């Protein structure tokens, strides 16, 4: 499949917003827009395992396109998961119904790092199926909307690799930060190098924006964030941009999402990211002040989508008034919930477009 002769892009609102240029209407997409709230996704999942879909480019492409066929979204995001990187490093991860991702043998201490594949090129090679899915999807989108690629951030991936699944405290992973600083940096460094190569190859394959998910920022504090997250987030953005430039490939806008990291927000203004995604607990006006150089993305409470049409429109209107219509990409403050009525999603998108 050719990763050069893609169909011309018909809707570049999200790219304009990323560059700070005016738009005719606010661009909108939703985290987890391809997922269980769609009956067609649930049907497909009856036949196929979660990671089987990720690893089969035709399936990943089909699932990526499902929400684009149904709704007037201004961007698509490739169907995959952040945990494909730990898999590429040699860890087994299963998606267990009702439980979420589960690692068969989580990392116990930094001696376990010897068992991992830490070579960035080998990590990126292993994930060829993602690049193939991206190239196929870019063609199948026929230029309708841009395609977003993504990766998990190093700290979030490290915490999954140690906790072995979901955890409210992340205490096993945080124990490493307090008791094994050297081992922690060794793992974070290896993840960072692998992620840079992985995201670079996603752009080569056709991704038109990139998002980095630091979903577990909220269990850190300013001190831990500055030591174990911020330098790696910054290194990923500067590394990907430098690699693209060195290979004469046009740069793409990069989005960073440090969920629940209130202490993190002001520091993100000094990173090379173009866009900062905000969770729903953040105040748009305060964030505008803290992030004068960035386009902002977010941040409706995913639960606000349960509201009546009238209430939802009031909430969305107030959000847009606070963010303003330029340097802004509308989204939720986190992924959409599986029990959401797709009709409410349509209300939301249509209302945003009418503003
Ligand atoms: O946004 C999209 O539509 C693209 C696809 C996407 C998925 N996961 C599909 C998915 C993206 C961007 C992700 C990222 C991801 N995965 C994150 C970062 C975003 C965030 O939520 O903070 C994280 C932490 C993961 C790890 C992960 N994958 C968890 C915790 C879970 C279980 C949570 C749940 O909702 O059950 C998953 C599973 C997952 N990833 C599903 C989907 C559609 C549902 C699984 C299923 O179909 O059984």
What average pLDDT score do residues 78-96 get? 97
In a domain, residue 5? The reply is: no
What are the tens digits of pLDDT across the range 277-313? 999 999 999 999 999 999 999 999 999 999 999 999 9
In a domain, residue 2? The reply is: no
In a domain, residue 201? The reply is: yes
What are the tens digits of pLDDT across the range 219-262? 999 999 999 999 999 999 999 999 999 999 999 999 999 999 99
Residue-level pLDDT at 332:
98
In a domain, residue 3? The reply is: no
Residue-level pLDDT at 232:
98
In a domain, residue 273? The reply is: yes
Q: Give the binding-site residues of ligand 1, using a 6 Å CB cut-off.
A: 31-36, 45, 50, 77, 79, 81-83, 95, 100-101, 150, 213, 215, 259, 335
pTM listed for this prediction: 0.97
Residue-level pLDDT at 3:
77
In a domain, residue 4? The reply is: no
Is 32 a known active-site residue? Answer: yes
**The domain that contains 218 carries what CATH number?**
3.20.20.210
Domains of the chain: total: 1
Residues 271, 237 contacting (CB under 8 angstroms) = yes
Range of the domain at 122: 13-354
Instruction: Work out the widest C-alpha separation in the chain, in whole angstroms.
Output: 56
The CB-based long-range contact list for 314-318 (8 Å cut-off, 24+ gap) reads 316/348, 316/351, 316/352, 316/355, 317/351, 317/355
In a domain, residue 7? The reply is: no
Residue-level pLDDT at 224:
98
| Percent of the chain predicted with pLDDT > 70 | 100
Statement: residue 2 has pLDDT above 80: no
In a domain, residue 148? The reply is: yes
Closest C-alpha residue for ligand 1 atom 1: 32
């Amino acid at each position: 499949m050719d990763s050069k002769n893609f169909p011309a892009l018909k809707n570049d609102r999200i790219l304009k917003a990323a560059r700070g240029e005016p738009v005719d209407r606010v661009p909108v997409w939703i985290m987890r827009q391809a997922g269980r709230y769609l009956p067609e996704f649930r049907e497909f999942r009856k036949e196929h395992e979660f990671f089987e879909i990720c690893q089969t480019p035709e399936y990943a492409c089909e699932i990526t396109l499902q929400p684009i066929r149904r709704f007037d979204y201004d961007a698509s995001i490739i169907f995959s998961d952040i945990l494909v990187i730990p898999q590429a490093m040699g860890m087994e991860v299963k998606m267990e119904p009702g439980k979420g991702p589960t690692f068969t043998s989580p990392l116990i201490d930094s001696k376990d790092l010897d068992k991992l594949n830490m070579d960035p090129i080998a990590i990126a090679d292993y994930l060829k199926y993602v690049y193939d899915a991206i190239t196929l999807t870019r063609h199948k989108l026929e230029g309708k909307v841009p395609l977003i690629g993504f990766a998990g951030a190093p700290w979030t991936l490290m915490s999954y690799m140690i906790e072995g699944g979901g955890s409210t405290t992340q205490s096993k992973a945080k124990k490493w930060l307090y008791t094994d600083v050297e081992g922690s940096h060794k793992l974070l460094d290896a993840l960072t190098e692998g992620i840079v190569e992985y995201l670079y190859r996603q752009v080569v394959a056709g991704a038109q924006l990139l998002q980095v998910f630091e979903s577990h920022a909220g269990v850190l504090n300013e001190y831990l964030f500055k030591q174990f997250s911020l330098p790696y987030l910054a290194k990923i953005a500067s590394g990907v941009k430098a690699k693209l430039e060195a290979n004469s490939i046009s740069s793409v806008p990069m989005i960073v999402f440090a969920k629940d990291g209130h202490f993190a927000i002001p520091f993100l203004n000094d990173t090379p990211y173009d866009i900062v995604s905000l969770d729903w607990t953040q105040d748009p006006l305060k964030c505008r002040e803290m992030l004068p150089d960035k386009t902002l993305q977010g941040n409706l409470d995913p639960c606000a989508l349960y509201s009546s049409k009238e209430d939802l429109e009031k909430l969305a209107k107030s959000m847009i008034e606070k963010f303003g219509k330029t340097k802004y990409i509308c989204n939720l403050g986190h992924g959409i919930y599986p029990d959401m009525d797709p009709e409410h999603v349509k209300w939301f998108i249509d209302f945003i477009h009418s503003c």
